[in-house]
Amino acid sequence: MNVLILGSGGREHAIAWKLRQSARVSKIYCAPGNGGMASVAECVPIKLSEIDRLISFAKEFRIGLTVVGPDDALAAGMVDRFEAEGLRIFGPRQACAQLESSKVFAKEFMQRYGIPTARSANFTDSGEARKFARSMSLPLVIKADGLALGKGVIIAESIEQVDAAIREIMDERRFGDAGRAIVIEECLEGPECSIHALVDGGSYLMFPSAQDHKRALDNDAGLNTGGMGTYSPAPQLTAELEARVRSEVLDRFLEGIRAEGLDFRGMLFPGLMLTADGPKVLEFNCRFGDPETQVLLARLESDLLELLESVIDGTLAKCRPVWAGGAAVCVIAASGGYPGDYVVGKPISGLGEVGDKAIVFHAGTRLEGAGLVTAGGRVFGMTSVGSSLRQARDEAYAALARVSFEGMHFRRDIAEKGLQLA
Ligand code: AMP
Ligand code: GLY
């Protein structure tokens, strides 16, 4: 079967790498892909906004399965468009993808089905929002309704910060139409945990847990990023908490989509906070996480193609995937200045010396002549699987030490919180 993967990050490289191991996959294309994926896929220069061209490509190259990586393609209705042409595609349709693309929609869904989440209120009028905020205790979390590249969430410690957040999001439309509405919610405390569960409309299959590191610098200092590294499993999610995630989040999610006639087929990735009152959902993502996918797929021993097809066919209940027993760690190497301004085009050296104890999943890289240069904020992820979290962590960092580019920065404390608990 020929497969087409849509996207260009480490997540898409990891999906391509894993599908390459499937005996039933003959050729993998990635649109638009990145400079480092050549060993597993052929990159096709078509943008994800060019849906007609992607559909023509899928027909011409006899694509048996298309896999959608990023949220904005799902929100734009990529899956609906492919399905209308009779093409097989993995990912939720637009109506279901609203669970990620509208925080107001997601909060109302959670409230209807008793899914634990922060107490909140929604506003389309900035004056009403300011009035409400004054009746609440600080800190408060202000969230733009729509997709904002992970930057539309502001934790406000003072009423001045609340007012500034409401002004920037709603009045000045810093994130465009994403700021037409906002959610204001209570600030929760506790470790964060990323849950991934495949959903086939009628049942779900939970993957092992992972923990992301959202802040740019060690000890969770600096600005929020797309994710600076991750590890799996997250020991913070004890067996008892995992049982609560199943019964209070995933079972109720299934009940909700059934009751609303939402035929959700794809990956559900709830971002959780493990509070003193139990797990609470911060947000629903409707896709694989990045960098979470880099550690999860590195640990997956079963055929990913079979899992993805079971989601589309509604036969997930028969799947029993096998996971590497130990742990995996991924450390992201980012361009100097990221998540602020950064320069690209820096030659990357040492990729040939990484060895066989780690896998490099490329993100912001581009081929230039015979070599690779940087082409984005998050440049690549270095992932190791080990029999223990410590071993995986040590091997990922040892491999990372062999690679360099001008301005490269990475966190030195990835998996540290997990190691303290292990
Ligand atoms: P979201 O895009 O909703 O996941 O939010 C991005 C990040 O903001 C999360 O990963 C948390 O670190 C933080 N965050 C979101 N909602 C809350 C909340 N209610 N309380 C505390 N932190 C939050
Ligand atoms: N790593 C968080 C995300 O993919 O949204």
Residues 37-58 have pLDDT tens digits of 988 999 999 999 999 999 999 9
- Considering the domain 192-318 in this protein, what is its CATH number? 3.30.470.20
CA of 48 to the centre of ligand 1 (A): 27
Position of tokens 């990145």? Answer: 34
Q: Map tokens 């007012």 to a residue.
A: 163
Domain with CATH 3.30.470.20 in the chain: 192-318
Domain with CATH 3.40.50.20 in the chain: 2-93
CATH T-level fold of 327-421: Glycinamide Ribonucleotide Synthetase; Chain A, domain 4 (3.90.600)
Residue 252, C-beta contacts closer than 8 angstroms, at least 6 positions apart: 113, 114, 115
**Total residues belonging to the chain:** 422
CA–CA separation, 396 and 354 (whole Å)? 10
Q: Which CATH number fits domain 125-180: 3.30.1490, 3.40.50, 3.30.310, 3.30.160?
A: 3.30.1490
- Report mean pLDDT in 10-residue bins for the chain, 422 residues: 98 98 98 94 98 98 98 97 98 98 97 97 96 95 90 92 96 94 96 98 97 96 93 97 98 98 97 98 97 98 98 98 96 96 97 96 95 97 98 98 98 97 82
CATH 3.30.1490 domain extents, the chain: 125-180
Q: How far is the CA of 282 from the centre of ligand 1 (A)?
A: 6
| Amino acid identity at 266 | G
Q: What is the pLDDT of residue 332?
A: 98
pLDDT for 35 equals: 95
| Single-letter residue type at 281 | V
Of 192, 224, 269, best ligand 2 pocket probe by most atoms within 8 Å of the beta carbon: 269
| pLDDT on residue 325 | 83
Residue nearest to atom 5 of ligand 1 (CA): 153
Whether residue 109 contacts residue 99, with contact meaning beta carbons closer than 8 Å, is answered with yes
Residue 274 CB less than 6 A away from ligand 1? no
To the question of pTM greater than 0.75 for the whole model, the response is yes
| Residue 217 Cβ contacting ligand 1 at under 6 Å | no
Distance in angstroms (rounded) separating the CA atoms of residues 384 and 393: 7
Topology (CATH) of 2-93: Rossmann fold (3.40.50)
What tokens does 12 get?
A: 């898409």
